[in-house]
């Protein structure tokens, strides 16, 4: 594909330790678009590519991609001109291209495929609000994105403008948070919150900011990646009025870290917004230690902390992107110790059926003996750590004395396995366990007292 140098290729500001940055070269299709328009996020949004004919002007489509783009009922396609400039025009296996251009294979069903693999709808007390974890909620504020990822976990709702959340949905979500004092953290997601009209987003943030028990607001957004032009000074000023506000972006491959994205990130970081990155482990895109190493190091240089690396969900359309879990473990093995700890994300499997994120990692504990634990490091060096000889006992009552009153209410925490580790409970039993093991001895149970058969975890 011909790439025409434009005025946009001028030198731009640099980040420390780096060469001066340039603008991403534009395909010939947009060579004559004045910079003023190109850098206007509204122009980018209204000139997104979504049809076979439009995309064909930028890349040579394969038969598989033509099949994907022509498929009935496919997940929405839209690509901003800026992001389309990153597509590998001559390589159908290009890592950016794979993320946004549909293929026929995404319509193929696979074993365990689900529409709502994280059971978000089952954890939703009001439309768009997911309360899965004890102290935090996910607030889906829009179904719209700047561009659409082929592996999207929420493809069941995302992209459909007729399924968008209304003002009354937002009010119901906020009301739920207001009435649920254990919620101290809200994550705004969607869809993409930064695609919303600025005034609407500001009103939402303002209402949330006024809730006394809400300690932090987080936003999950791929807008800086798909549409860095949207990160205007005005938007950043508005966001920075709602501290503590955290922002997680979503970059999967180092090629997505362009000069434009770097400048957008610098603006956000300069405004005091802590930045994290969530990426998805995608076959053919970033499923190698080398790609991940370059990605996390580039993120850290841009003041973005790699936060999660997700195992690809069992969601419709994502089958061909999935890798064995062993690939994620291999990647963490190659990162941990080999680069800064700050640069190593937590690799998680988001449990199908709604179990939440489960961290998975290489095993560094090799064995345990009396008062001794045998560990290995990232190089394979094996050592022992000697534990205290005296019996370990913790005085929780005393430790609690110096905490804020809220944290001292131990009952706000769901205990789970940590309840077993702390000795507060003895077992957690699967549903129906007691019935199976009574095996018709109900009368005997009655006589001995029910206690023996009760779930200790209740």
Tell me the C-alpha distance between 231 and 229, whole Å.
Answer: 5
Identify the active-site residue in 132, 301, 303, 415.
132
* 423 Ramachandran zone, left/alpha/beta (phi>0; psi -120 to 50): left
What does the longest C-alpha to C-alpha distance in the chain come to?
Answer: 88
Which CB sits closer to ligand SF4, 129 or 158?
A: 158
Identify the active-site residue in 26, 48, 74, 136.
136
- Beta-carbon-side half-sphere exposure of residue 354 (alpha carbons within 13 Å): 12
Least distance from C-beta 180 to ligand SF4, angstroms?
25
Least distance from C-beta 264 to ligand SF4, angstroms?
15
Q: Give the strand order in the sheet containing 382-386.
A: 365-369, 372-376, 382-386
Which CB sits closer to ligand SF4, 81 or 190?
A: 190
Least distance from C-beta 96 to ligand SF4, angstroms?
13
Identify the active-site residue in 40, 64, 133, 160.
133
Cα 63–Cα 64–Cα 67 angle in degrees, nearest 5: 85
Least distance from C-beta 169 to ligand SF4, angstroms?
17
Q: Does the active-site annotation cover 396?
A: no
User: Contact residues for ligand SF4 (CB under 6 A)?
Assistant: 145, 148-149, 152, 154, 158, 190-192, 222
Which CB sits closer to ligand SF4, 8 or 220?
A: 220
CA 69 vs CA 60, 63, 114: distances in Å: 13, 10, 22
Tokens standing for 395?
Answer: 């005085």
Least distance from C-beta 458 to ligand SF4, angstroms?
38
Q: Does the active-site annotation cover 132?
A: yes
Identify the active-site residue in 74, 152, 230, 312.
152
Q: How far is CA 428 from the centre of its chain?
A: 29
Tokens standing for 250?
Answer: 């979503």
**8 A C-beta contact, residue 193 and residue 142:** yes
Least distance from C-beta 190 to ligand SF4, angstroms?
6
Identify the active-site residue in 37, 178, 184, 357.
357
Q: Where are the beta strands (DSSP E) in 45-148?
A: 129-133, 136-140
Q: Does the active-site annotation cover 167?
A: no
Which CB sits closer to ligand SF4, 156 or 267?
A: 156
Q: Does the active-site annotation cover 378?
A: no
Which CB sits closer to ligand SF4, 141 or 235?
A: 141
**8 A C-beta contact, residue 177 and residue 187:** no
Tell me the C-alpha distance between 158 and 424, whole Å.
Answer: 42
Place of tokens 């678009």: 33
Which CB sits closer to ligand SF4, 85 or 142?
A: 142
Which CB sits closer to ligand SF4, 190 or 276?
A: 190
Least distance from C-beta 152 to ligand SF4, angstroms?
3
Q: How many CB atoms lie within 10 A of CB 324?
A: 11
Tell me the C-alpha distance between 316 and 150, whole Å.
Answer: 10
Least distance from C-beta 268 to ligand SF4, angstroms?
17
Which CB sits closer to ligand SF4, 6 or 142?
A: 142
Tokens standing for 286?
Answer: 């970033």
Tokens standing for 318?
Answer: 């994502």
Q: Does the active-site annotation cover 185?
A: no
Query: Could you tell me where the DSSP H helices lie in 212-323?
Result: 223-226, 233-239, 259-270, 289-301
Q: Does the active-site annotation cover 149?
A: yes
- DSSP class of 386: E
Q: Does the active-site annotation cover 136?
A: yes
Q: Which residues are catalytic?
A: 132-133, 136, 145, 149, 152, 154, 313, 350, 357
């Amino acid at each position: 594909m011909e790439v025409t140098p434009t005025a946009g290729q001028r030198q731009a500001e640099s980040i420390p330790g780096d060469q001066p940055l340039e603008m991403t070269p534009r395909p010939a299709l947009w060579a004559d678009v004045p910079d003023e328009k190109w850098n206007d996020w509204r122009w980018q949004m209204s000139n997104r590519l979504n049809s076979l004919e439009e995309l064909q002007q930028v890349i040579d489509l394969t038969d598989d991609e033509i099949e994907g783009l022509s498929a009935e009922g496919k997940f929405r396609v839209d690509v901003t001109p800026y992001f389309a400039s990153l597509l590998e025009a001559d390589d159908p296996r290009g890592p950016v291209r794979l993320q946004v251009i549909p293929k026929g294979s995404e319509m193929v069903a696979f074993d365990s495929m689900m529409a709502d693999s994280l059971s978000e709808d089952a954890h939703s007390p009001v439309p768009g609000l997911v309360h899965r974890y004890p102290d935090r909620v996910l607030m889906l504020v829009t179904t719209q994105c700047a561009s659409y990822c082929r592996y999207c976990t929420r493809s069941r709702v995302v992209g459909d403008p007729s399924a968008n959340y209304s003002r009354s949905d937002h009010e119901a979500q906020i009301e739920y948070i207001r009435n649920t004092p254990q919620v101290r953290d809200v994550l705004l997601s969607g869809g993409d919150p930064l695609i919303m009209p600025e005034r609407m987003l500001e009103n939402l943030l303002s209402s949330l900011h006024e809730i006394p028990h809400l300690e932090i607001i987080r936003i999950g957004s791929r807008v800086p990646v798909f549409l860095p032009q949207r990160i205007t000074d005005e938007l950043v000023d508005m966001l920075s009025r709602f501290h503590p506000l955290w922002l997680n972006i979503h970059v999967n491959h180092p090629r997505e870290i362009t000069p434009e994205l770097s400048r957008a990130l610098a603006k956000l970081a300069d405004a005091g917004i802590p930045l994290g990155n969530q990426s998805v482990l995608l076959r053919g895109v970033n499923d190698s230690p080398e790609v991940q190493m370059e990605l996390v190091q580039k993120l850290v240089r841009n003041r973005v902390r790699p936060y999660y690396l997700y195992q690809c969900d069992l969601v419709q359309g994502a089958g061909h992107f999935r890798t064995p879990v062993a690939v994620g473990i291999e990647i963490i093995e190659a990162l941990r110790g080999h680069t800064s700890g700050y640069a190593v994300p937590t690799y998680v499997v988001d449990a199908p059926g709604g179990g939440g994120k489960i961290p998975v990692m290489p095993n560094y504990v090799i064995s345990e003996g009396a008062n001794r634990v045998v560990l290995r490091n990232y190089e394979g060096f094996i050592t022992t750590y000697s534990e205290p000889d005296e019996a370990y006992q913790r005085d929780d009552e005393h430790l609690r004395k110096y905490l804020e009153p809220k944290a001292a209410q131990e009952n706000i925490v769901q205990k789970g396995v940590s309840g077993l580790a702390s000795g507060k409970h003895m077992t957690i039993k699967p549903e129906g366990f007691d019935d199976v093991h009574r095996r018709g001895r109900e009368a005997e149970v009655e006589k001995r007292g029910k206690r023996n058969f009760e779930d200790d975890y209740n």
